[in-house]
Structure 1
Amino acid sequence: MSIPKYNTLTIEEKSAITWIVLDRPQTLNALSDELLTEFSDVLRILKTEGAPVIGIRGAGRGFSSGYDISPEAEEIGGLGRRNIIEERTRLREKIECLMPLWDHPKPTIAAVHGPCIAGAVLLASLCDLTVVADNAVIGEPTLPIGGGFMEPFWAFLLGPKQAKMMALDPGARFNAAKAVEWGWANFSVPHDELVDAVEKLSSRIARVHPDVLAVKKSSVNRYYEDRGIRSAFISGAETDALLHFSEPVRAMSESIRSNGLADTIKRFYG
């Protein structure tokens, strides 16, 4: 399999599943621009190479903390250099790095343990199946510096009341049991059984011919696309860009640049 060596991802090949491991444990696997570019690249390669199923998990103590909003990251550090149209274009490019999960011909499974926050929730939601460890914590960022990427998926997967709770309550979270009860995840397993459970599931899925799997996946996706999920997802770039240029969010972003993330959370939400 001709997959290059990546800086932010580790690829593990099994007979039924190719694992994409988000491998920035020192940042709780924050989704940097480099990671998203590499992620998009490996998804392209796996269309024709690798195992019949794609699995995604995080290295270290959790799945991912979401988009990288450290002071030096482009998400925060570059905001003052862009106008609102450039920001919308940048955010569309982020979406285009993740959309191949939805459109991929192979089944994709997110294996979620520990924290899965903000943009990472979007990544897991775009996978066909999601299996959560019993220590998984899923939710919104503590600082509401964006809006629109996750909200359509909350609405489609959780319904309007829970979607608005997640959207309006800063740092809203739910655990593995609620993830299954509310339909965000397929099932939950003990933390130390997560990888094994997903590999057993992928072995069963891999018995089906790839062409059959692709058509079955597409038929479900089409149902939701007819109800507007794709256009709602794409519109997130516009709502996020709008909020990034609002005064409250610009103040938070400036505080992150000047004082760091932890201090900004304390300053705004005590």
Structure 2
Amino acid sequence: MTGEPWPDLAILWEDDRYLAIDKPNGLFVHRSNLDARERIAALQAVRRLAGGRVHAVHRLDRGTSGVLLFARDREAARALSEQFVARTVQKTYLALVRGHPPEQGELDYPLVPSEGAEPVAAVTAWRTLANGALAVPVGRYDQAWCALVALFPHTGRRHQLRRHLSHLRHPIIGDTSYGDGRNNRAFREALDVQRLMLYARRIAFTHPFNNDHIVIDMNPDATLDHVCAHFGWPAPSDDVLADSAR
């Protein structure tokens, strides 16, 4: 189709109706006018991988990596999309953020989806998993405080997690739209963080056709592993990845 190499995609889980991949950072879910140079998107790559037509049932930002679900037919897509609309799908994200947030909390802060539109409801819960400090001066501070947080979006607005964390004054490291350029630079130079540090870590849902409880986890990438090793943070356990508010 193009001269570009196809992305190397890992299938995390699949059956005869669905499959989930570990979407890499930098890959659009659909082809986008945001970058005309990008000719390959996850949808086309998964169709090639699956050997047939598939349908994306939700989206991830280009900069976000992690669990991305596809349906193998329209009936399956419609059935699972209804669960996303009903907000019964449990989504857990991991993010590296600026500062030391409170141990846990929930932000109910409406977001404007587009210029001129009315604000829509947006709710995000979080749990702080670990705190750290990078020994690099940033602005008037002698070090860059940071934290690893688990995020539980109860709604699915565009850029919701990035905008909510920015509103909380704990923007995601590597976020060039809503983040802090000085902190981004500090982590880029000290730990080679070249990406948005936001990961779709887990998705859990009830299978529409057999009622099985499906839990799908992503594989941590080298950047997240490197950051956690630098600060001595252990891998998050299953209990902290579950949204206690759901």
TM-score, scaled relative to structure 1: 0.30
Give the strand-richer structure, 1 or 2.
Answer: 2
Give the helix-richer structure, 1 or 2.
Answer: 1
TM-score, scaled relative to structure 2: 0.32
